[in-house]
Amino acid sequence: MATSPYLKPVPDWQEHEKPSMPGSPSMPWHPPWRRVAYAFVAILVGITGALGNGLVTANLPVLQGQLGLTPSEGAWLSAAYVMVNVTANLLVFKCRQQFGMRWFAEIGLGVYAVLTLLHLAVGTFETTLAVRAASGLAGAACSTLCLLYMLQSMPRTHTGKMLVIGVGIGQLAAPLAWVVSPALLNQGGGSWHNLYLFEAGLALCSFAAVVMLKLPPGIQIKVFERADFLTFALVAPAVAMVCAVLVQGYLHWWFDTPWLAWLLIAALLLLVIAVFIEHHRANPLIQTRWFFNGATVRFVIGGMILRFLTAEQSVGAVSFLRAQGMGPDQLQPLFAVVLVGMIVGMLACSLTFTPRTMVPQILLSIVLFAIAGLLDHHRTSLDRPQDFYVSQFLLSIGAGMFMGPLMLIGIGQALKNGPAYMVTFSVMFSITQTLGGLVGSAVLNTYQLYREHEFSASIVAGLDRTDPQVAMRMAQQSAALSGVIGDPVLRSAQGTAQLAAAARRESNVRAYNDVFMFSAVTAIGFLIWLLALLGRTALRDRLTRHHAAAEPPVSASPAAIPSPLPALPSPTARP
């Protein structure tokens, strides 16, 4: 394959300053104050890219109430962010290589800030969706930008440690949103405008920081082809449709809404066409042969399961406490603990990071996920946020620990084949993490609803009015209402309704306990699968070394003399 032409003159770098690949900034020497500035900018843009979506998730009931949205419309807000965020990663890497990362980031942050300010003036459902979509575009740019700025904050010898921190910063946005939300909503009458003012301010600050403190120059080459945009036009709506189905499925129920099936059919058709086109291109945007080999498929499955396990925090603990009447004010201390746990996990992973510790760090995070689920599977309706501190702290350490090693393992697999495979890895990693979270939320919410109906039917079936305990409970409910409701018939009906509400509450508690146990069992099963894969690989390597050591040395003979002809390529080899 011919070398891509340079779009700008290449500076005369020293060997240690050269960028690792086109699209990456160079690594010149920086004074200490500038390295600190790069670290602060990395934290700012990393938090900005994900905090907006975190604020929406944490305050969704408030937004739905003040904007007059249905639960389905509220779910579209998170879906809009995810749809654009995943699909934008199809083009981010090549934009870096051809136009430079700062150009893409300035456009993303600028559009995001302008739409956020516009939404403050208009405040409709349509503009809210537009802001969330722009937030997804900015998030795709900011996550990469955070990583590149963090790498500039330390010498090249610490690249692995800084990459772990750069990848983990974006995860801090979700618990941070819960921590800052009560203070934002308690000002100015608790309007949603405070959230968007804060969001717009962060976007403008990040925009100014990126403009003022520029990344060092890198190598820019021409990489875009017309067929890339055709692939994007096929894959982007397909992934967006899948995201929409995962977000809306359990709200409309999977088998009762035909348009969910039509979306999946359309997504499958578009993906098949895109894969066919990419499979037969000379310079594909997505390396289909590598994407569908065994090692890559196992990496995708593992990455999705890891992200799936982190959904236990939002679907399990948070939804459980919300069902008990807890709001952002009551959940603020819990998420302060979660935030500390993620920072501890990220820093512990960075400080202990070496090529040998990457796999043990991932295994440890899975163990922590399993322990958290086992600690939470016996909850009652009397439990409050402080009862979740230990389990969610452990889960947060695991969540802050696995991202960096997982990404580095994937980067290593991609770079073995060449820089062209980094686009495929970038898309693959983004999809595994995003869809893994969506699949986790969809599966756990569906399982919770199913188990809640099962427990509710079982409890209601056991409420026999002739049972002395049931009759006494209903009499107590009616007596408690005697000072409020004078009519004995209405008082009895209200007491029955309160008993039914108590039954629903207890069935919800039992269903969430099943969710916690399901998450723990999934983590244990995943851990056993990984250990089996590692054991098989170790055994195969040992047998290979044993056979190599047992073979006698080959003497020089006509058959052992190397041929002067080059080896013929295999039928599946590509130029």
Residue 184 shares a structural domain with residue 300: no
What would the pLDDT profile of 284-293 be if each residue is shown by its tens digit? Answer: 777 788 777 8
Report yes or no on 269 lying in a domain.
Answer: no
Residue 220 shares a structural domain with residue 359: no
Per-residue pLDDT band at 477 (split at 50, 70, 90): low
Question: What is the residue range of 456's domain?
Answer: 283-542
Closest C-alpha among 426, 396, 385 to residue 24: 426
- Rounded to whole angstroms, how far apart are CA atoms 121 and 24? 39
Question: What average pLDDT does the segment 290-298 reach?
Answer: 81
How many Å separate Cα 470 from the centre of its chain?
A: 46
- Rounded to whole angstroms, how far apart are CA atoms 182 and 326? 13
Higher pLDDT, 548 or 263: 263
218 by DSSP, 3-state: which?
strand
pLDDT at 575 over 70: no
- Rounded to whole angstroms, how far apart are CA atoms 499 and 475? 11
pLDDT at 310 over 80: yes
- Helix intervals (H) in 152-192: 159-169, 173-185
Per-residue pLDDT band at 551 (split at 50, 70, 90): low
Two structure tokens written together for 300? 């995708």
Closest C-alpha among 148, 140, 74 to residue 111: 140
DSSP annotation of 198 reads H
Side-chain half-sphere of 442: how many Cα atoms within 13 Å? 20
Two structure tokens written together for 479? 């007596």
Residue 265: per-residue pLDDT: 93
- Rounded to whole angstroms, how far apart are CA atoms 403 and 409? 10
Pick from 180, 205, 224: which residue ends a domain?
Answer: 224
Report yes or no on 558 lying in a domain.
Answer: no
C-beta pairs of 347-353 under 8 Å, 24+ apart in sequence: 347/165, 348/397, 348/401, 349/164, 349/168, 349/400, 349/401, 349/402, 349/404, 349/405, 350/161, 350/162, 350/164, 350/165, 350/168, 350/404, 351/161, 353/160, 353/161, 353/164, 353/404, 353/405
Higher pLDDT, 557 or 153: 153
* Residues listed for the chain: 575
Residue 184 shares a structural domain with residue 312: no
Phi, psi values for residue 221, rounded to 5°: -130, 160
What would the pLDDT profile of 525-536 be if each residue is shown by its tens digit? Answer: 999 998 988 888
117 by DSSP, 3-state: which?
helix
Per-residue pLDDT band at 77 (split at 50, 70, 90): confident
Which range among 181-195, 236-250, 482-496 shows the weakest confidence by mean pLDDT? Answer: 482-496
Closest C-alpha among 185, 177, 172, 104 to residue 142: 104
CB 64 within 8 A of CB 73: yes
Residue 478: per-residue pLDDT: 64
3-state helix, strand, coil in the chain (%, to 5): 75, 0, 20
Report yes or no on 232 lying in a domain.
Answer: no
Report yes or no on 277 lying in a domain.
Answer: no
Residue 318: per-residue pLDDT: 85
The percent of residues above 90 in pLDDT, for the chain, comes to 9
Q: Report the domain count for the chain.
A: 2
Residue 406 shares a structural domain with residue 520: yes
Residue 56 shares a structural domain with residue 151: yes
Residue 164 shares a structural domain with residue 304: no
Per-residue pLDDT band at 466 (split at 50, 70, 90): low
Report yes or no on 2 lying in a domain.
Answer: no
Report yes or no on 11 lying in a domain.
Answer: no
Per-residue pLDDT band at 560 (split at 50, 70, 90): very low
Per-residue pLDDT band at 571 (split at 50, 70, 90): very low
pLDDT at 349 over 50: yes
pLDDT at 559 over 60: no
Residue 31: per-residue pLDDT: 87
Per-residue pLDDT band at 24 (split at 50, 70, 90): confident
Residue 574: per-residue pLDDT: 35
- Rounded to whole angstroms, how far apart are CA atoms 465 and 473? 10
Q: Please report, as a single letter, which amino acid is at residue 389.
A: Y
Per-residue pLDDT band at 573 (split at 50, 70, 90): very low
What would the pLDDT profile of 247-275 be if each residue is shown by its tens digit? Answer: 888 888 888 888 889 989 999 999 999 88
- Rounded to whole angstroms, how far apart are CA atoms 303 and 46? 21
Residue 64 shares a structural domain with residue 131: yes
Residue 78 shares a structural domain with residue 194: yes
Residue 31 shares a structural domain with residue 152: yes
- Helix intervals (H) in 14-100: 32-58, 60-67, 71-99
Residue 343 shares a structural domain with residue 446: yes
- Helix intervals (H) in 377-467: 389-415, 421-461
Residue 523: per-residue pLDDT: 92
| Cα-based distances in Å from 217 to 43, 102, 182 | 21, 10, 41
* Residue where the block lists tokens 């009458």: 189
How many Å separate Cα 340 from the centre of its chain?
A: 19
* Residue where the block lists tokens 């409709």: 124
Contacts of 401 (CB under 8 A, 6+ apart): 345, 346, 348, 349, 361, 362, 364, 365, 368
Residue 197 shares a structural domain with residue 292: no
pLDDT at 371 over 90: yes
pLDDT at 5 over 70: no
Can you give the CATH number for the domain in which 215 is found?
A: 1.20.1250.20
Question: What average pLDDT does the segment 76-82 reach?
Answer: 83
pLDDT, averaged across the chain: 79
68 by DSSP, 3-state: which?
coil
Higher pLDDT, 508 or 466: 508
Residue 367: per-residue pLDDT: 93
Residue 347 shares a structural domain with residue 216: no
DSSP annotation of 286 reads S
Per-residue pLDDT band at 188 (split at 50, 70, 90): low
Max intra-chain CA distance, the chain: 109
DSSP annotation of 316 reads I
Closest C-alpha among 229, 279, 243 to residue 78: 243
Report yes or no on 244 lying in a domain.
Answer: no
Contacts of 115 (CB under 8 A, 6+ apart): 127, 130, 131, 134
Residue 382: per-residue pLDDT: 82
Handedness of CA 306, 307, 308, 309 (dihedral sign): positive
Question: What average pLDDT does the segment 25-51 reach?
Answer: 86
Report yes or no on 66 lying in a domain.
Answer: yes
